[in-house]
Amino acid sequence: MPYLTSTTTGTRRTHLGPGVGVPGYAHPLLAPDQWNALARPGTPLHWTVLNVHDGPGICPDPRCLEAAGRLRNAGVRVLGRLDAAYGRRPSGELLSDARRYLDWYRVDGFLLRRCPAHREALPGIRRTTAALRALRDECHLVLGHGTHPHPGYADLADQLVTFQGPWSEYRWSQVAEWTAEHPPERFCHFVHGLPRGHLDEALRIARWHGANTVYFTDRTDRGGRVDPWETMPGYWDTIVSRLGTGVSE
């Protein structure tokens, strides 16, 4: 099973060691500076997610084409966001969205958002991930469970999101024992509502829990009314500094 490594493929810039996975900023028209910042050399970036309009949209978006092209030219891995709706969305719809992402934006893989985590959903997700890999060579797949799933899911994707939620929960979170059987490169943590003063503590927790890809932000979801991932955290430069510049060209 392939997973995120510290090697360089072609002209891809691959960060060595712990780094950032961006769950998806606001549309490039609304957040141009944030998208531009992702292409800066030395940014400890593992990948970023492109979400055009709850998926790829109904036609190519010029602003998103430009943003994705700029990142691709900088060697940054771009993933399309697919919503699995906790297993309720038909595989055919997911594959249709995936093809649009590939045809219009030439993405490098996919983040399967709201991926189910229970054993019963394994066969369906296994079929979906196999079909997604068949669409593109070296397709990077991230399963966005947001919690520790059944360990069988580790066989289906390059990475699993095993925590997604507020800092108030993350600081007391526990890690599933089965994750110790896999390297940290296989796991991602997304934490919102994290104050600047606790950033180093959060980085230590991620290291102790064996998660190599993280995204921390001081933005909050305001009771579920706001997407905390749409805006770059106020301490973005601090995160970049803490995670270092281990980038191979």
**Range(s) of the domain holding residue 108:** 19-243
Q: Which pLDDT score is estimated for 6?
A: 36
pTM: 0.91
Token output for 75 = 């060697």
Whether 11 is in a domain gets the answer no
Whether 10 is in a domain gets the answer no
Whether 9 is in a domain gets the answer no
DSSP 25: P
Number of compact structural domains in the chain:
1
**247 and 44 Cβ atoms separated by less than 8 Å:** yes
Whether 14 is in a domain gets the answer no
Token output for 188 = 């991602």
Q: Which pLDDT score is estimated for 226?
A: 80
Helix (H, G, I), strand (E, B) or coil at 161: strand
Indicate the angle between helix axes 122-135 and 91-105, nearest 10 degrees: 20
**226 and 220 Cβ atoms separated by less than 8 Å:** yes
Whether 210 is in a domain gets the answer yes
CATH code where residue 116 lies: 3.20.20.80
Whether 126 is in a domain gets the answer yes
SS (H, E, C) 101-157: HHHHHCCCEEEEECCCCCHHHHHHHHHHHHHHHHHCCCCEEEEECCCCCCHHHHHCC
DSSP one-letter string for 216-234: E-S---TTTTS-TTSS--T
**42 and 247 Cβ atoms separated by less than 8 Å:** yes
| pLDDT tens readout for residues 229-249 | 998 999 999 999 988 744 433
From first to last of its 249 residues, the chain has per-residue pLDDT tens of: 444 433 344 455 555 589 999 999 999 999 999 999 999 888 899 999 999 988 999 999 999 999 999 999 999 999 999 999 999 999 999 999 999 999 999 999 999 999 999 999 999 999 999 999 999 999 999 999 999 999 999 999 999 999 999 999 999 999 999 999 999 999 999 999 999 999 999 999 999 999 999 999 999 987 777 889 998 999 999 999 988 744 433
Whether 3 is in a domain gets the answer no
Whether 1 is in a domain gets the answer no
Instruction: Look at residues 8, 50, 20, 4 and name the one whose alpha carbon lies nearest to residue 245.
Output: 20
